[in-house]
């Protein structure tokens, strides 16, 4: 089973890298860009576990290691059964 | 006072820190390997600067799971003295021994230069030999030193006097311009509520001898030694 986890800054946290990317896009004339938030993508290949176990393990791993809950939030999805 | 400097893969200030304690301060100091479960009977644990695990994932995020960190947490919980410098500060934040987190510097630049710090609290075990509001010139060298804490945490930190040092200008004013990396409230270093753990982004070991351009970092080591 493959899962994809997306980690990004919480809305309340300033994202200086996203701001810089936004400014670059504006400089290139993409005026429609209102905001940019930069994040990280993790793809985990999980073996020998059930869907229910994934439901428990993935948020646990994301909250404990992949994201720092003080500044970041995460979402995840199964991309391959 | 016996100091122990923890070495992670990617630490690069451990030798300088050992040198500062041994040669400059004349104290016994040993290096502690992160994979061990042995604090070697030290009176103070120091997490040095560097790039533990290449700063992969987040600065300090992997190092916090090193076996020795469990011993360091127990040591701190018992009131043992713990100092985290630069990457060591980031590890302490990830470990939860200090509140908050680090973001990338506001201008997205790696900053390596002397900064002026103001001593905010002279009653901690790390600052008791420095008068309050004394200015210290100590260098920084980091990419992720932009201190962040949620508003309610920040209020608690300030109310309890946990801020040890702030970035200030030459006149001692905590201005936005002096706030080199964008840290909330110009915070450069803070202690835990109990006062036995200090994290700071500037490198006192790089300001411990006149030859290095500043001896201002010594007052932190002298304060620590004076508490034993």
**What are the tokens at A72?**
């970041």
Residue in chain A nearest B98 by alpha carbon: A70
Residue range B93-121, pLDDT digits in tens: 999 999 999 999 999 999 999 999 999 99
Question: Chain A within 8 Å of B182 (Cβ-Cβ)?
Answer: yes
Nearest residue on chain B to A65, alpha-carbon basis = B61
Q: What is the DSSP letter of B213?
A: T
CA dihedral for A61, A64, A65, A67, sign (positive or negative): positive
Check CB contact under 8 Å for B58 and A65: no
Question: Across the A/B interface, how many CB contacts are shorter than 8 Å?
Answer: 32
- Give the pLDDT confidence of B141-187 residue by residue, as tens digits: 999 999 999 999 999 999 999 999 999 999 999 999 999 999 999 99
pLDDT tens for A18-29 read: 999 999 999 999
Confidence of residue A14 (pLDDT cuts 50, 70, 90): confident
Express each pLDDT in B111-154 by its tens digit: 999 999 999 999 999 999 999 999 999 999 999 999 999 999 99
- In angstroms and rounded to an integer, the radius of gyration of the C-alpha atoms of chain A is 16
Select which of B86, B94, B120, B142 is catalytic: B86
Asked if B34 is an active-site residue, the reply is no
pLDDT of residue A16: 86
How many domains, in total, are found in chain A? 1
What CATH number corresponds to the domain at position A66?
3.30.1280.10
CATH code of domain B3-226: 3.40.50.880
Cross-chain residue pair B104–A16, CB shorter than 8 Å: yes
Task: Reply yes or no on whether the pLDDT at B228 is more than 80.
Answer: no
Token pair of B29 as six digits: 């100091």
Q: What is the DSSP string of B106-168?
A: TTS--EEEEEEEEE--SSSTTTTTS-TT-EEEEEEEES--EEE--HHHHHHHHHTT-EEEEEE
Where in the sequence is the domain holding A37, given as residue range(s)? 2-80
Q: Based on the residue annotation, tell me whether B205 is a catalytic residue of this protein.
A: yes
DSSP 3-state of B197:
strand
**A70 with B148: Cβ contact below 8 A:** yes
pLDDT at position B72 over 90: yes
């Amino acid at each position: 089973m493959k899962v994809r986890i997306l980690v990004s800054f919480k809305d309340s946290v300033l994202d200086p890298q996203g701001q810089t990317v936004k400014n670059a896009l504006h400089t290139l004339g993409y005026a429609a860009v209102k905001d940019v938030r930069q994040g990280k993508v993790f793809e985990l290949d999980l073996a020998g576990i059930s869907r229910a176990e994934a439901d428990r393990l993935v948020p646990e791993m994301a909250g404990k290691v992949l994201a720092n809950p003080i500044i970041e939030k995460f979402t995840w999805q199964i991309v391959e059964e | 006072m016996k100091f122990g400097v923890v070495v992670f893969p990617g630490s690069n200030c451990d030798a300088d820190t050992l040198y500062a304690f041994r040669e400059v301060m004349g104290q016994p100091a040993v290096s502690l390997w992160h994979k061990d479960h042995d604090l070697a009977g030290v009176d103070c644990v120091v997490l040095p600067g560097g790039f533990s695990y290449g700063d992969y994932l987040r600065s300090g995020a992997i190092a916090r799971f090193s076996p020795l960190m469990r011993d360091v947490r127990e040591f701190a919980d018992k009131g043992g003295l713990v100092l985290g410098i630069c990457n060591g500060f980031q590890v302490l934040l990830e470990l939860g021994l200090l509140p908050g987190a680090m973001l990338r510097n506001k201008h997205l630049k790696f900053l390596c230069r002397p900064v002026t710090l103001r001593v905010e609290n002279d009653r901690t075990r790390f600052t008791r030999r420095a008068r309050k509001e004394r200015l210290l010139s100590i260098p920084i060298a980091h990419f992720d030193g932009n201190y962040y804490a949620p508003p309610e945490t920040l209020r608690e930190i300030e109310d309890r006097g946990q801020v040890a040092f702030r970035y200030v200008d030459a006149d001692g004013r905590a201005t936005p311009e002096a706030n080199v990396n964008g840290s909330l409230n110009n915070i450069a270093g803070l202690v835990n509520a109990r006062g036995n753990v200090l994290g700071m982004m500037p490198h006192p070991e790089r300001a411990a001898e006149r030859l290095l351009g500043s001896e201002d970092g010594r007052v932190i080591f002298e304060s620590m030694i004076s508490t034993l």
